Chain A
Amino acid sequence: MTLNLCVLTPNRIVWDSEVKEIILSTNSGQIGILPNHAPIATAVDIGILRIRLQDQWLTMALMGGFARIGNNEITVLVNDAEKGSDIDPQEAQQTLEIAEVNLSKAEGKRQTIEANLALRRARTRVEAINMMS
């Protein structure tokens, strides 16, 4: 049985092809998905998606969304997705540093919410690069 993965963002289709296995970070922790998985629906956290093609692992930074698994079809709906290989390491690192500074400077409930979100996104992108190397 083959497993098909489809990663959709509002702009475009990021990934639509066959995979061997994926590891998805959901709101309640990471789950691994192999062919013939039971049909589930899950919320996807801001985090890393790892994809195995044959023996090769790929990483992708997901910016939060939703996934549906069933019938050997995985559909991931996310706000934004970037392949680890497409992220500029320097730029990502800088964004992370800026986000950290912003969080330490944040005042009030609203700014904290914003800064926290930005920090988590930035951290995920850096992690996606680190995991590849």
Chain B
Amino acid sequence: MSCSNLTMWVSSKPSLSEASTLSSRSFITPFQLPSQSSSPTPNPSSRSSSVTPIHCNLRELRDRIGSVKNTQKITEAMKLVAAAKVRRAQEAVVNGRPFSETLVEVLYNINEQLQTDDVESPLTKVRPVKKVALVVVTGDRGLCGGFNNFLIKKAEARIAELKSLGLSYTVISVGKKGNSYFLRRPYIPVDKFLEGGNLPTAKEAQAIADDVFSLFVSEEVDKVELLYTKFVSLVKSNPVIHTLLPLSPKGEICDINGVCVDAAEDEFFRLTTKEGKLTVERDSVRTETLDFSPILQFEQDPVQILDALLPLYLNSQILRALQESLASELAARMSAMSSATDNASELKKNLSMVYNRKRQAKITGEILEIVAGANALS
């Protein structure tokens, strides 16, 4: 009676083959985890899922149960921390709304006045593309499922695509995870390493915008693309590529013909509780574009005003991307940690079942011995 051929599985992806080898080798099939296909990301502890048969006696089992219990506590805490941070991230978005709303309103109005003019601004200049700058926004920490990997893979795919088109490229990496990835690969030209920080603020966005701006204006690059993870919901987020520069003053905002726009659609996400569970709703709020005073005069040339507005718009777009990326990271961490917690409790349950059976078997054996001894005496 031993459980020496039991194998330990700590994985959020139970595969059929694994389960079958398992059940053929052990007298019970305790470690079949419930299917958690909802999370596409293997939880971080899956690295330890090599087949390691354990020679367990009672004490070892007890220790193991204890360590699983501790791990569960940690993952549970990390999940809660991530949930609280999502709320903070949402607040940051809300605080930035008066700014972005007014900005869109003003851009709309100026755009309307500039419809007839041929606008030439350094940030809108479309040049033949020879070199592309990629701004890659990753997270600062791991333990968030495939969040960082998905984005880096997307970046790699884009780099390969640019290579096949015969274009040169450079990378601006934001976030520690991306930094360490690109540092390990010196053959990828990286222009700048930037750190994300806890909550993205205008300062960080400004640092990126400055870099991007000088690269573009000095004609070192002809196109700037932003790679970040778009936040869809708590369980879904997409790595996306967004062309940052050149800005098109006609396309980005509502024009006079009513052709729309991404700028007027202000999306933000809201954390609520639904039936005791945390969910995130994503609101899409249409900004009302009011007509302001028609006798508005321009102090400067309209082109100059556009010159002043477009960097603001650039900044707010970068800030938005940073905020989305942070929200996605936190959401990814939440789901990864919640599946890790589930796995830990399942594992704990199974281990304590084995433990109890072994204990029971031991007691039964001892009683048998005593009874047999007593019988032999009489």
Q: Which residues of A contact B (CB under 8 A)?
A: 8-13, 26-28, 31, 38-44, 63-66, 68, 70-71, 75, 77-80, 108-111, 113-114, 117
Give the docked Cα–Cα distance between A95 and B110 (Å). Answer: 36
Interfacial chain A residues near B92, Cβ < 8 Å: 11
Would B98 and A42 count as touching, CB distance under 8 A?
A: no
B304: interface (CB < 8 Å): yes
Give the docked Cα–Cα distance between A38 and B294 (Å). Answer: 12
Would B102 and A44 count as touching, CB distance under 8 A?
A: no
Would B214 and A113 count as touching, CB distance under 8 A?
A: yes
Give the docked Cα–Cα distance between A113 and B79 (Å). Answer: 44
B198: interface (CB < 8 Å): no
Chain A's closest residue to B216 (CB) is: A110
Would B300 and A43 count as touching, CB distance under 8 A?
A: yes
Chain A's closest residue to B320 (CB) is: A10
Contact among A12, A28, A38, A117 with B210 in the assembled complex (CB-CB below 8 Å): A117
B27: interface (CB < 8 Å): no
Interfacial chain A residues near B110, Cβ < 8 Å: 41
Give the docked Cα–Cα distance between A40 and B296 (Å). Answer: 5
Give the docked Cα–Cα distance between A78 and B206 (Å). Answer: 11
Q: List 29 A-B contacts (CB under 8 A).
A: A10-B315, A11-B95, A11-B96, A11-B99, A11-B202, A13-B95, A27-B308, A28-B300, A39-B297, A40-B297, A40-B298, A41-B296, A41-B298, A41-B299, A43-B305, A44-B308, A64-B308, A66-B106, A66-B309, A70-B292, A77-B102, A77-B312, A79-B311, A79-B312, A80-B203, A80-B206, A110-B218, A113-B217, A114-B211
Using known A-B contacts A8-B98, A11-B95, determine if residue A43 contacts B292 with beta carbons closer than 8 Å: no
Contact among B218, B292, B312 with A66 in the assembled complex (CB-CB below 8 Å): B312
Using known A-B contacts A27-B300, A28-B300, A70-B292, determine if residue A65 contacts B308 with beta carbons closer than 8 Å: yes
